Structure formats: structure tokens, C-alpha cells
């Protein structure tokens, strides 16, 4: 695909609203797109599975559909939405990395969406009182949807439990850089889509290839936990955002990878140690392609691959470098995304005997 085509695909997927537990828009879109080249089915928890083709060991390429969100915990008498995070909060206040204020908001109801803005008291109304609070509390934040009463909000289909996402548009920066919400994990689903379309057109698959889009990754890898009940799997190539340290404020000793440096192969994170053999194999294939590849051990991170490992599936984690993760301005490089596609296609069309496991050779 050209850079423009990749950008259009990423923009389409990222701008679909799919908060944790309400992933319908993305799953519906993928089911339709994937059915153009694969056999598609939905599971009881609404994971989407697609059989691309081939025979042999069964490998699935996975990404997750859900995005960071908030829950409406109450509606004030004058129509402001008070919010709570998607995860089980233990701090009692917003973390430093969560920065929704002044961003466009989209309230995702059961029947449609409502626009608004993430807000807090600001400017002159707080500046004059010498406000010196060291941090925000959850009740300092709210969503303004432009109504004046609770009844007006409720008439729009908003109630306690309704999800809210930040909702800036996806934009292309200079060259191949793209910025927007939900690159975690829609850019992964764009990669899976491109790889699936490329592999469906080939007759040299070394595996039986599947694609998977899971629900509720952000709050505990829940959707991926049931994949092994729906489908007997041998291998999983899980796709997710990759952590980089090439911005001010981060420590390159902890995060040595960079945006534009190629796919990141992750050996371990907080949730799992991934298959050394499978990860090394991917690295060898990348080297054989002449593709730059990065390797990492991630901190403060987890992925769907851990849920499949617990169910006896050999897993590798392939990530695409991403700046400003878990924010409204996640930034990726189109060339990194294409390189991930190329790596997956090369893996799926390379018979096992054509790659030597370097570590096994050394151990022998």
C-alpha cells in the first residue's frame, strides 16, 4: 500500500468510537472488511475471527478493538457529566499520564454519540483565589455537552455507565508521521488488515493463518482470554503499541527504541515473558529482509499475548513504535506500520526449515 492508503486506513479505524466494553463500531467495520478476503465469525463476547487461508500450524495475528475511555458515574442537576476511569482506580485521583482536559469528548450511547469537551474550572474563576492544588481529583474533571439540565442529558441517551472517549481527529504531520487517538490499538488492526489482504492473495502460506480482533484488552486482557476456547491455536503474533524514549522527559536507558526505527520485538513486559524462539525467529526473518528491527523489554506494560500464553499458545509480541501512548496524541510512523506488515507476510510464507534458530544452534 502507498503511504496515503495506509494513512486513510489508520484514520478510518482510529476515528471509529470503540471504548472498553462498547467496541461495536470497530468490530462491525472489521467483520465487513475482513469478509472480503476471509471467512469471518463473531464470538459470544464479540471477538472477531477471520480465517485467511493456508494449512499447517495455526497462527493468529491479533490486535484489540477497545480504546481508553471514561465512564459516566453521575450527572449533575445542570447537565455536567462526572466521570470515572475505565480501570479499577487505586490512587483515588487521576494519574500524571492521563491528560484529557480541553480535548474534544465523544459520549458513546447505546443509540448514537454526543459531542462535548473534557473540562475543569479554569482561568479567571480559579486564578484569583490563589489555587495551589498539587494535583487534580476525579471530581475536578467533568464533560460539558452543552445542555443545562440532567433531563436534557438523559433525553440524549446518557446515563450512569455510558462511556466517554477523547475524540480529536487523526492528522498527518510531516512526512510519514501520523497523530491521533486510539493508535492503541487501531494501528495494529490496520496492520492485521493489510497483512491479511496480502496473504489472502498468495498460494505459498506456510501456516493456516487467522486474524483476530479482541475486546476489553485495556481492562485486563479479557477478550483474548477466551480465544483459545473458540479456536485451537499453535502460535500468536500479537500486535500493539511499542514504547519509545526519543522524546524529552523519558529515559533512553529504560526505553531505547525510537519512532521510525522499525518494528519492536518485545521479549518481556509486566504481564509475561514471550517466546524466545518465536521472537528470535521473527528477528532473523527481519534481518533476512534487510529490515531494521528493534528489541525491547517493556516496563509498565501488558498485552493480549499474555492471556493466550496462559492458555498454552506460543506467543510473540510485535509492536510498532508509538510516542505519547495512552493519550489523545499517540504518534506513529507509516513506514513502521508497513514494515510490520512486511514482517508478518514474510513470517507466514517462510517454512520452518528455512530459518535457523540461532539460540538453538548455540545451545547445541
List the domain boundaries for the chain. Answer: 3-67+181-363, 70-166
pLDDT of residue 76: 98
* 360: confidence class by pLDDT, cuts 50, 70, 90: very low
Which residue, among 203, 238, 222, has the nearest Cα to 59 in the 3D structure? Answer: 238
Quick one: CA torsion of 13, 263, 269, 278, rounded to 10 degrees? 110
46-95 residue pLDDT tens: 999 999 999 999 999 999 999 999 999 999 999 999 999 998 888 889 98
DSSP 148: S
Angle (nearest 5°) at CA 91 between 87 and 97: 70
On the question of pLDDT at 361 being above 50, the answer is no
* 130: confidence class by pLDDT, cuts 50, 70, 90: low
On the question of pLDDT at 355 being above 70, the answer is no
Look at phi and psi of residue 296 and say left if phi exceeds 0, alpha if psi is from -120 to 50, else beta. Answer: beta
Q: What's the rounded mean pLDDT across residues 247-269? A: 96
196-242 residue pLDDT tens: 999 999 999 999 999 999 999 999 999 999 999 999 999 999 999 99
Q: Are 243 and 308 in contact (CB under 8 A)?
A: no
Report d(CA 279, CA 315) in Å as an integer: 8
Cell numbers found for residue 227? 480465544
pLDDT of residue 259: 97
Going from the C-alpha of 245 to that of each of 44, 258, 259, 339, the distances in angstroms are: 39, 6, 9, 20
- In sequence order, what DSSP letters do the residues of 38-91 get, joined into one string? SEEEE-TT--EEEEEE--SSEEEEEEE--B--EEEEEE-TTSPEEEEESS--SS
Cell numbers found for residue 331? 504518534
- In sequence order, what DSSP letters do the residues of 136-175 get, joined into one string? --GGG-EEE-S-SSHHHHHHTT--TT-EEEE-PPPEE-ST
On the question of pLDDT at 108 being above 90, the answer is yes
What topology is assigned to 3-67+181-363 in CATH? Aminopeptidase (3.40.630)
Question: How far separated are the first and last CA of the chain, in Å rounded?
Answer: 42
Cell numbers found for residue 354? 528455512
> What's the predicted TM-score (pTM) here?
0.93
Look at phi and psi of residue 79 and say left if phi exceeds 0, alpha if psi is from -120 to 50, else beta. Answer: left
- Reported as type and span, the H/E element at residue 31 is helix 24-34
pLDDT of residue 174: 87
Non-local (6+) Cβ contacts of 250 within 8 A are 244
pLDDT of residue 128: 61
134-167 residue pLDDT tens: 789 999 999 999 999 999 999 999 999 999 999 9
User: How long a stretch of residues is the chain?
Assistant: 364
On the question of pLDDT at 248 being above 90, the answer is yes
Q: Which CATH class is domain 70-166?
A: mainly beta
Helical residues (DSSP H) of the chain, grouped into ranges: 3-15, 24-34, 124-127, 150-155, 183-200, 227-230, 276-288, 304-310, 334-348, 358-363
174-201 residue pLDDT tens: 899 999 999 999 999 999 999 999 999 9
Amino acid at each position: 500500500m502507498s503511504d496515503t492508503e495506509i494513512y486513510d486506513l489508520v484514520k478510518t479505524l482510529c476515528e471509529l468510537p470503540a471504548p472498553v466494553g462498547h467496541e461495536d463500531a470497530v468490530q462491525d467495520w472489521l467483520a465487513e472488511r475482513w469478509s472480503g478476503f476471509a471467512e469471518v465469525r463473531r464470538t459470544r463476547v464479540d471477538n472477531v475471527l477471520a480465517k485467511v487461508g493456508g494449512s499447517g500450524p495455526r497462527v493468529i495475528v491479533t490486535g484489540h478493538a477497545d480504546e481508553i475511555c471514561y465512564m459516566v458515574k453521575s450527572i449533575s442537576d445542570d447537565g455536567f457529566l462526572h466521570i470515572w476511569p475505565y480501570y479499577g482506580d487505586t490512587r483515588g485521583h487521576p494519574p500524571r499520564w492521563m491528560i484529557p482536559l480541553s480535548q474534544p469528548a465523544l459520549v458513546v450511547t447505546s443509540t448514537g454519540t454526543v459531542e462535548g469537551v473534557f473540562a475543569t474550572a479554569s482561568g479567571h474563576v480559579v486564578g484569583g483565589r490563589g489555587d495551589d492544588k498539587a494535583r487534580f481529583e476525579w471530581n475536578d474533571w467533568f464533560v460539558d455537552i452543552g445542555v443545562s439540565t440532567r433531563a436534557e442529558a438523559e433525553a440524549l441517551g446518557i446515563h450512569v455507565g455510558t462511556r466517554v472517549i477523547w475524540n480529536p481527529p487523526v492528522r498527518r504531520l510531516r512526512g510519514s508521521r501520523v497523530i491521533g487517538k486510539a493508535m492503541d490499538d487501531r494501528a495494529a488492526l490496520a496492520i492485521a488488515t493489510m497483512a491479511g489482504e496480502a496473504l489472502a492473495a498468495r498460494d505459498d502460506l506456510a501456516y493456516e493463518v487467522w486474524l483476530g480482533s479482541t475486546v476489553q484488552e485495556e481492562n485486563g486482557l479479557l477478550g483474548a482470554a477466551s480465544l483459545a476456547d473458540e479456536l485451537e491455536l499453535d502460535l500468536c503474533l500479537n500486535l500493539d503499541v511499542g514504547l519509545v524514549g526519543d522524546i524529552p522527559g523519558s529515559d533512553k536507558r529504560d526505553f531505547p527504541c525510537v519512532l521510525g526505527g522499525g518494528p519492536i520485538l518485545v521479549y518481556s513486559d509486566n504481564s509475561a515473558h514471550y517466546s524466545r524462539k518465536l521472537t528470535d525467529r521473527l528477528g532473523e526473518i527481519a534481518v533476512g529482509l534487510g529490515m531494521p528491527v528493534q528489541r525491547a523489554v517493556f516496563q509498565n506494560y501488558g498485552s493480549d499475548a499474555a492471556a493466550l500464553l496462559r492458555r498454552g499458545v506460543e506467543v510473540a509480541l510485535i509492536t510498532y513504535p508509538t510516542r505519547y501512548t495512552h493519550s489523545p496524541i499517540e504518534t506513529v510512523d507509516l513506514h513502521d506500520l508497513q514494515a510490520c506488515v512486511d514482517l508478518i507476510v514474510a513470517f507466514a510464507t517462510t517454512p520452518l526449515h528455512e530459518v535457523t534458530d540461532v539460540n538453538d544452534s548455540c545451545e547445541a
